[in-house]
């Protein structure tokens, strides 16, 4: 396969994106490399987003629009992944945009090696101004490794591989490696990082190119900028339970330190729900189930020593923790 034959698919979920989606579309239309498709998924928008997408698709047949009832970010992403026709796919937030040379740079570096995952640099934008490179993509050199695993790539190129354990942007995924993998959960919180890590465990070759390809526009109303609710936190717990069930079949030696650290994060989410005594009582059975799962994982990976004192208190007795936290909160608020 020559570089000119490599086709890139861009999955862009859209919900009420009328203020900024045109800029995202233009960043793809202006690419210096022409073999691409944009899969725009309108997730039940109530503003003029559908009209903007329809107009764009009429102007360029490479833009494909799929419209569905509002079901959230996860359902929109999964809809997009069901309609990929490219050799590689990536995700683009409808409020973000791409460097116009990204596809060309990627195609030139891919060559005939066809790695499963390709990372590139991301620049963060706030109030229309750059605030620097995303720390997870702060590499300035080229890196590549074949016949390998995520763990081995992390160990050899730690600064290049951080991005493979967070989010879902800043990289290309090889379509044939996707298989039956989908996003899990409903709200989208943590689902992207989980998807990326599971995809990487199905991968055997990785590449990182020191090219700024993605511009991440920070907004308070984005999924990553919202404060999780009780319902959202319950969804996140299910996502992490699913993740650790999935990697249970992987050799312990191939589980990365990042994934072990997420066990602590998993436990922290449980404590967030337990800080409210009413939420704890309402979700007691769920909390106890996840607590047991966390304790099992901490034992399996010998990670209990990583827990702080408060975390150990919670793991010892979530009910006592909830009561204690409620008392402290009342004293502080007097």
CATH code assigned at 191: 3.90.550.10
Taking each helix axis from N to C end, the angle separating 257-274 and 318-332, rounded to the nearest 10 degrees, works out to: 60
Among 172, 202, 224, residue at a domain's last position = 224
Confidence band for 166, pLDDT divided at 50, 70 and 90:
very high
Q: Residues 26, 172: one domain?
A: yes
- For the ranges 78-82, 179-183, 216-220, the lowest mean pLDDT is seen at 216-220
Predicted pLDDT of residue 211: 97
Report which of residues 298 and 320 the model is more confident about.
298
| Structure tokens that stand for 107 in this block | 């195609």
Predicted pLDDT of residue 1: 55
Q: Residues 149, 72: one domain?
A: yes
pLDDT tens per residue, range 258-288: 999 999 999 889 888 877 777 778 888 998 8
**Of 172, 178, 170, the residue nearest 108 (C-alpha):** 172
Q: Are 87 and 1 in contact (CB under 8 A)?
A: yes
Q: Residues 218, 232: one domain?
A: no
pLDDT at 249 exceeding the cut of 70: yes
Predicted pLDDT of residue 88: 98
- List residues bridging with 249 in a β-sheet: none
Predicted pLDDT of residue 276: 72
Q: Are 274 and 322 in contact (CB under 8 A)?
A: yes
| Structure tokens that stand for 33 in this block | 């490399």
Taking the C-alpha atoms of residue 325 and residue 299, their distance in angstroms, rounded to an integer, is 26
**Of 259, 273, 185, 190, the residue nearest 226 (C-alpha):** 190
Among 190, 206, 224, residue at a domain's last position = 224
Per-residue burial over 294-317, b if 16 or more Cβ lie within 10 Å, else e, is: beebbeebebeeebeeebebbbee
Q: Residues 54, 180: one domain?
A: yes
Q: Residues 272, 309: one domain?
A: yes
Taking the C-alpha atoms of residue 270 and residue 266, their distance in angstroms, rounded to an integer, is 7
Averaged pLDDT score across all residues of the chain: 91
Report which of residues 238 and 278 the model is more confident about.
238
Whole-prediction pTM value?
0.91
Q: Residues 180, 271: one domain?
A: no
Q: Residues 188, 277: one domain?
A: no
Q: Residues 262, 291: one domain?
A: yes
Give the pLDDT mean for 72-97: 97
Taking the C-alpha atoms of residue 266 and residue 252, their distance in angstroms, rounded to an integer, is 18
| Structure tokens that stand for 197 in this block | 């890590």
Q: Are 11 and 39 in contact (CB under 8 A)?
A: yes
Q: Residues 235, 213: one domain?
A: no
User: H or E segment at 119?
Assistant: strand 117-126
Among 224, 250, 268, residue at a domain's last position = 224
**Of 220, 225, 300, 223, the residue nearest 266 (C-alpha):** 300
Q: Residues 37, 110: one domain?
A: yes
pLDDT tens per residue, range 2-61: 566 999 999 999 999 999 999 999 999 999 999 999 999 999 999 999 999 999 999 999
pLDDT tens per residue, range 186-216: 888 999 999 999 999 999 999 999 999 999 9
> What's the number of domains the chain is made of?
2
Q: Residues 181, 253: one domain?
A: no
Q: Residues 194, 276: one domain?
A: no
Predicted pLDDT of residue 42: 98
Can you give the residue range of the structural domain that contains 185? Answer: 3-224
User: H or E segment at 286?
Assistant: helix 284-300
Predicted pLDDT of residue 329: 66
Q: Calculate Rg over the CA atoms of the chain.
A: 21
């Amino acid at each position: 396969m020559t570089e000119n034959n490599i086709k890139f698919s861009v999955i862009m979920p859209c919900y009420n994106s009328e203020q900024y989606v045109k800029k995202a579309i233009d960043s793809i239309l202006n690419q210096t490399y022409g073999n691409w498709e944009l899969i725009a998924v309108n997730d039940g928008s109530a503003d003029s987003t559908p009209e903007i997408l329809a107009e764009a698709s009429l102007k360029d047949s490479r833009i494909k629009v799929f419209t569905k009832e509002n079901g959230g970010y996860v359902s929109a992403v999964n809809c997009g992944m069901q309609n990929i026709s490219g050799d590689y796919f990536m995700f683009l937030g409808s409020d973000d945009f791409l460097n116009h040379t990204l596809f060309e740079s990627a195609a030139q570096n891919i060559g005939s090696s066809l790695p499963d995952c390709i990372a590139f640099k991301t620049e963060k934008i706030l109030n229309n101004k750059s605030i620097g490179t995303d720390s997870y993509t702060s590499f300035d050199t080229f890196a590549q490794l074949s016949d390998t695993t995520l763990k081995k790539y992390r160990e050899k190129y730690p600064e290049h591989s951080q991005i493979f354990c967070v989010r879902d942007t800043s990289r290309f995924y090889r379509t044939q490696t996707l298989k039956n993998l989908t996003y899990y959960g409903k709200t989208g919180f943590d689902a992207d990082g989980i998807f990326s890590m599971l995809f990487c465990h199905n991968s055997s070759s990785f590449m990182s190119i020191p090219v700024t390809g993605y511009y991440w526009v920070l907004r308070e109303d984005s999924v990553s900028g919202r404060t999780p609710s009780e319902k959202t936190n319950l969804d996140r717990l299910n996502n992490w339970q699913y993740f650790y069930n999935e990697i249970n079949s992987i050799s312990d030696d191939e589980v990365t330190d990042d994934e072990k650290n997420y066990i602590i994060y998993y436990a922290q989410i449980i404590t967030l729900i337990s800080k409210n005594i009413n939420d704890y009582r309402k979700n007691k059975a769920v909390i106890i189930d996840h607590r047991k799962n966390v304790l099992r994982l901490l034992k399996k990976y010998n990670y209990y020593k990583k827990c702080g004192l408060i975390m150990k208190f919670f793991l010892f007795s979530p009910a006592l923790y909830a009561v204690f936290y409620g008392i402290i909160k009342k004293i502080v608020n007097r």
